[in-house]
């Protein structure tokens, strides 16, 4: 355990008012008899922008916070303001956890480990031959790397910003050579026969409702993951379940990434089953 016994933690992002992170961390801290508080810093509500990230991080570090979780839309932008990166964060090019340690701001990625743990539990024997990933932002970058680590043979990446998808393909090709990774174009998606689909885009969130793909491309033999956890039952998941698809919602990834971040913040291993109960 670290020498610190009182922990101040928070979340930086936009439209995060209903995040479950405070509950997860504070209840786990209480269960471990730690004095731990978790605050939300919603840039949209505070009238802040990406340009304020560096200033806010420095202010929180000066106020003796243990660290910060980082969410949409800052998981990639925050890297410019950090002193060090973990190997995973550097490889993925995205950070969701920043630890303030010895006057340094150190970036980690627990989305990667959280997705892998959740996927292995919920969808252990699905076909990984050909997978479509929606979203090439911070979360999408983490999930893409995780899918390749899980053994996906062919990964097609679609983002409404085509340049983002191409950049992620280039990054992945620079760190692996076993899988085929390509950028998918909108007019090609419905023509392909995928074994699995993962939504790591913001489409489906409470603040951005809707379906990220046309219903016509879903079928009963497709497995589907939506990493959104508010709401848990997105339109995409609900429709896929009505077809009989094997599905995974965002709950376990959210909890497992939080548990890994909790250990980085406090030095204490979190009880993941207990945290699932808190969720």
> What's the pLDDT at 186?
85
SS3 content of the chain, % helix, strand, coil (to 5): 40, 20, 35
Mean of pLDDT values over 179-190: 90
Task: Please tell me the distance from the alpha carbon of residue 14 to that of residue 49, in angstroms, as a whole number.
Answer: 9
Residues 169/108, Cβ–Cβ less than 8 Å = no
**3-class DSSP state for residue 7?**
strand
Please give the C-alpha separations between residue 26 and each of 30, 118, 150, in angstroms, as whole numbers. Answer: 6, 22, 31
Tokens of 215: 């219903």
> What's the pLDDT at 4?
55
- Assess if residue 117 is contained within a domain: no
Report how many domains make up the chain: 2
Residues 130 and 241 in one domain: yes
Task: Please tell me the distance from the alpha carbon of residue 179 to that of residue 175, in angstroms, as a whole number.
Answer: 11
Residues 56 and 138 in one domain: no
Task: Give 164's Cβ-side CA count (13 Å radius).
Answer: 19
Residues 25 and 77 in one domain: yes
Burial (CB < 10 A; 0-12, 13-18, 19+), residue 228, is buried
Give tens-digit pLDDT for 121-177. 999 999 999 999 999 999 999 999 999 999 999 999 999 999 999 999 999 999 888
Tokens of 231: 């709401």
Residue 182 has pLDDT above 80, yes or no: yes
Residue 1 has pLDDT above 50, yes or no: no
Q: For the chain, what is the total number of helices (H) and then of strands (E)?
A: 11, 12
Mean of pLDDT values over 197-217: 93
Tokens of 259: 């548990």
Sheet of strand 223-226, all strands in order from the earlier edge strand to the far edge: 180-183, 154-158, 130-134, 196-199, 223-226, 247-248
Give tens-digit pLDDT for 7-66. 999 999 999 998 999 999 999 999 999 999 999 999 999 999 999 999 999 999 999 999
Beta strands per DSSP E along 71-217: 84-85, 97-101, 104-108, 130-134, 154-158, 180-183, 196-199
- Assess if residue 1 is contained within a domain: no
Element (H, E) at 188: helix 186-189
- Mean pLDDT taken over the chain: 95
- Assess if residue 115 is contained within a domain: no
**What domain range includes position 202?**
124-245
Element (H, E) at 68: strand 67-70
Mean of pLDDT values over 181-198: 90
Q: Which residues contact 135 (CB under 8 A, 6 or more apart)?
A: 143, 158, 159, 199, 200, 201, 202, 212
- Assess if residue 157 is contained within a domain: yes
> What's the pLDDT at 188?
79
63 is catalytic: no
Domain holding 79: CATH number? 3.40.50.10860
Residue 181 has pLDDT above 80, yes or no: yes
Residues 129 and 185 in one domain: yes
Name the active-site residue from 75, 105, 164, 272: 75
Confidence of residue 203 (pLDDT cuts 50, 70, 90): very high
Task: Please state, as a whole number, how many other Cβ atoms lie within 10 Å of the Cβ of residue 120.
Answer: 11
Mean of pLDDT values over 242-249: 98
> Percent of the chain scored above 70 by pLDDT?
99
> Percent of the chain scored above 90 by pLDDT?
90
- Assess if residue 114 is contained within a domain: no
């Amino acid at each position: 355990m670290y020498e610190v016994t009182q922990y101040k933690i928070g979340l930086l992002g936009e439209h995060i008012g209903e995040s479950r992170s405070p509950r997860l961390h504070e209840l786990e801290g209480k269960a471990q008899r730690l004095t731990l508080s978790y605050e939300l810093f919603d840039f949209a509500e505070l009238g802040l922008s990406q340009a304020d990230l560096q200033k806010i991080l420095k202010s929180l570090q000066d106020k003796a916070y243990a660290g910060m979780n980082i969410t949409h839309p800052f998981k990639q932008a925050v890297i410019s303001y950090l002193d060090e990166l973990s190997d995973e964060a550097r490889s993925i090019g995205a950070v969701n956890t920043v630890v303030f340690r010895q006057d340094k701001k150190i970036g980690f990625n627990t989305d990667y480990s959280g997705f892998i743990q959740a996927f292995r539990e919920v969808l252990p024997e699905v076909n990984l031959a050909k997978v479509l990933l929606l979203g090439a932002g911070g979360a999408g970058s983490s999930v893409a790397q995780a899918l390749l680590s899980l053994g996906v043979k062919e990964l097609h990446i679609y983002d409404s910003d085509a340049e983002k998808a191409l950049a992620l393909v280039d990054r992945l090709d620079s760190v692996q050579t076993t899988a085929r990774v390509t950028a998918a174009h909108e007019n090609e998606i419905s023509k392909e026969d995928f074994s699995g689909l993962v939504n790591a885009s913001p489409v489906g969130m409470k603040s951005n409702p809707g379906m990220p793909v046309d219903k016509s491309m879903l079928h009963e033999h497709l497995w589907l993951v939506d990493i959104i956890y508010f709401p848990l039952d997105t339109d995409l998941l609900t429709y896929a379940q009505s077809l009989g698809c094997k599905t995974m919602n965002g709950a376990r990834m959210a909890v497992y990434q939080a548990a890994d971040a909790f250990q980085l913040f406090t030095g204490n291993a979190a009880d993941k089953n207990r945290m699932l109960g808190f969720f």
